[in-house]
Structure 1
């Protein structure tokens, strides 16, 4: 029986596609052709200590090393300040293939599954009268000089609780090679220029652990009104690169315990997915 012409054409197309897949080889079949097969190409800020730094001592640098080791690849960096234009000049420009830490749901990237959840923290002198504060509505904060990064979610809570008039704002969008608002804030707290500081936990927690033993880090998990102060953190890849995303998801799932240990060692405060409970390192 003679095969219809349409069926012959369909069969020919299928044969060509099958041949192309086999000729591509295992590595090419597993990731987008835009993703390097020779290195884990990471987009990173060169001066965002303790998160990432050009001397590769940040905890995201260590996370990149862990992921690269599991892939049996070296790490290769594209450095760019993590401010306006970061994604456009790195990931979107195809200079690198992954951002190691990115908030879930951000439209500029395709997010992997989240590998940790963290929260904003209140930082106070460990032996001071604010050491027992757990919420920004605590009357003990009234009239105090509280440092906060301008425009971040805690600012709304501070305004609601009447703390803005005496607040000390610090810049949000900076080139950290020449300015470090988080370090400036902690230095001011240490010297008594301000009474408390509010920082994103994955920044403030490690900084305190590294260099400010007299300060206490209090995760703000008891704020009940919006905006939320906890965020789930993912790795970010280019839109459309679903195979690469799934490969990283698999790496995250299989190595979650090592990732948790790395973050806990750095001093990152880890909380439950709904931001209601502080997790112990073993969790």
Structure 2
């Protein structure tokens, strides 16, 4: 056989094998259930997801499931190392309801909310008017902060770390709740203010601490940023499922905003520069 013919035959065989492999990959990667809205979730991530269905991400899942006309089902696993590998990647469920935009472990949908870290203070105290960590009124005070979270860098920049009280970043939320502990300490006067992720602080204050005030930190200069766009996470490569969820996010944005606002989540515009007027 001439060399050119051998080359053509080799190329044709390679294309055939590639096509076959692609078809197999397409079949095996399409793991999304057509009969259930299968959610990967932490069973004790109050106030976001809870096994009793009380979290706002549970309610968001119910909304999306209703739009798809499917029942919600859950795969429960603590949100810690191995969460994505043991749930989404293992094909046990199809969507994580809350994931920061740009995370490489998942394929992100379009974002459905933007929020920020917040300063929590007594609503009737001398700090009620403070809205940034550079405010001189915070000097010499004890602020609670989750160890290793982005606001800690800003606190260090403004000389607030020396007296800060650190709360654990990675815990088993089934037995420990650093955010709730921090807010309880603030309400008891053991710390002067708390710095927490707004979508955690807002709902907990709304439910348990009406005497506290949540102020999104939207005026902080320099890195790291304190606002984040929150998406849903799906398996990498499942573009059809991603597009389907993107369509639902776009078409149901007012309902999503209302659900989150009712839960107490501080919502911001896409650039994290001002509070979102949900009534608009």
Partner secondary structure for residue 193 of structure 1: coil
Deviation at 1:282, TM superposition (A): 1.9
What residue ranges of structure 1 are gaps of 5+ in the alignment? 1-5, 21-27
Question: Which of 92, 97, 102 is the matching residue for 1:95?
Answer: 92
1:201 aligns with 2:185: no
* 2:69 corresponding residue in structure 1: 72
1:135-150 equivalences in 2 (<5 Å) = 135-150=132-147
* 2:186 corresponding residue in structure 1: 189
Question: Which of 211, 214, 229 is the matching residue for 2:211?
Answer: 214
Deviation at 1:32, TM superposition (A): 5.7
For the residues of structure 1 that align with 2:124 and 2:81, how far apart are their CA atoms? 39
Partner secondary structure for residue 214 of structure 2: strand
For the residues of structure 1 that align with 2:201 and 2:38, how far apart are their CA atoms? 27
Deviation at 1:274, TM superposition (A): 1.0
Partner secondary structure for residue 99 of structure 2: strand
For the residues of structure 1 that align with 2:246 and 2:219, how far apart are their CA atoms? 30
Question: Is 1:84–1:173's contact at 8 Å kept on the other side of the alignment?
Answer: no
With the length of structure 2 as denominator, give the TM-score of the two structures.
0.90
Deviation at 1:33, TM superposition (A): 2.7
Partner secondary structure for residue 166 of structure 2: strand
Q: Deviations over 1:200-254 (max 9, x none)?
A: 0000000000010100111100112111000000000000000000000001111
What residue ranges of structure 2 are gaps of 5+ in the alignment? 1-8
Moved over 3 A (4+): none
For the residues of structure 1 that align with 2:92 and 2:33, how far apart are their CA atoms? 10
1:160 aligns with 2:119: no
* 2:258 corresponding residue in structure 1: 261
* 2:274 corresponding residue in structure 1: 277
Question: Is 2:30–2:238's contact at 8 Å kept on the other side of the alignment?
Answer: no
* 1:230 corresponding residue in structure 2: 227
With the length of structure 1 as denominator, give the TM-score of the two structures.
0.89
Partner secondary structure for residue 57 of structure 2: helix
For the residues of structure 1 that align with 2:144 and 2:100, how far apart are their CA atoms? 23
- RMSD over aligned CA atoms reads 2.0
* 1:113 corresponding residue in structure 2: 110
Q: How many residues align?
A: 261
Question: Is 1:43–1:96's contact at 8 Å kept on the other side of the alignment?
Answer: yes
